[in-house]
A = this chain, B = another copy of it.
Amino acid sequence: MSEPRWLNETELRAWTGFLETSDLLHRMVEQQLREVGGVTTVQYDILHRLNESPEKRLCMTDLAERLVSSRSGITYQVAQLEKAGLLRREDAPDDERRVLAAITEKGRRVLETTAPGHVEAVRAGLLDSLTPDQVAQLAAIMDATRARLRDTVQLHPPRKARSR
């Protein structure tokens, strides 16, 4: 086992900066969404996915895949959103097992009233701190990293484990 290649000063700044920034950004956005729309980031994300889907509805598993969370987590949050009247649960017509989450008019209104401030928060927290060049650099960097991570990171353990 060879000596590990420790991080040099720049690498360390990139890494710790990334950690702290992502944490701060997340908190900032959470705060803004909470105040203006009364929803959490996860809930906003769910509503957003539903709204951008052509049918304005998605089944639970599809939702869980698009977001990062587990199926049981989606069940919980969809229940919260249903209680709040921001979405409706429907049985899928073709498959009795499936449950569809469909955004309601009220849910759409929450998105509409929240989105502008959300975008502003993203600008204030991230984009406005950067030059246009840096924004482009960041986009490229994230594309590269994301592509690699998607292949590497195993999100949920397979159901009936049978690796390879």
For the complex, give the distance between the alpha carbons of A20 and B149 in Å: 10
Interface residues of A in 114-149 (CB under 8 A from B): 115-116, 119-120, 122-130, 134-149
* Chain A interface main SS type: helix
**Stretch of A22-30, A51-59, A85-93 on the interface side:** A22-30
Q: How close is A65's CB to chain B, nearest CB, in angstroms?
A: 13
Query: How near does chain B come to A48, taking the closest CB pair, in angstroms?
Result: 11
Residue of B11, B28, B144, B147 near A153 (CB, 8 A) is B28
Task: Report how many residues on chain A are interfacial, defined by Cβ distance under 8 Å.
Answer: 57
Q: Which of B21, B148, B150 contacts A146 (CB 8 A)?
A: B21
Residues of B within 8 A of A161 (CB): none
Known contacts A135-B10, A145-B129; is A18 also within 8 Å of B28 by CB?
no
Mark each residue of chain A from 7 to 24: 1 if its CB lies under 8 Å from any CB of chain B, else 0: 100110111011011111
- With A4-B116, A13-B142, A28-B152 as given contacts, are A23 and B126 in contact (CB-CB < 8 Å)? no
Chain B residue contacts of A20, Cβ below 8 A = 68, 142, 146
| 8 CB-based A-B contacts, threshold 8 Å | A6-B119, A14-B126, A20-B142, A125-B153, A129-B147, A129-B148, A134-B140, A134-B141
In the complex, the answer to whether B145 meets A126 with C-beta atoms within 8 Å is: yes
**Closest 3 pairs (CB-CB, A-B):** A17-B142, A4-B116, A22-B22
If A10-B135, A13-B139 touch, does A129 touch B144 (CB 8 Å cutoff)? yes
CB-based contact A18/B144 at 8 Å: no
Q: Which residues of A51-96 have CB atoms within 8 Å of chain B's CB atoms?
A: 68
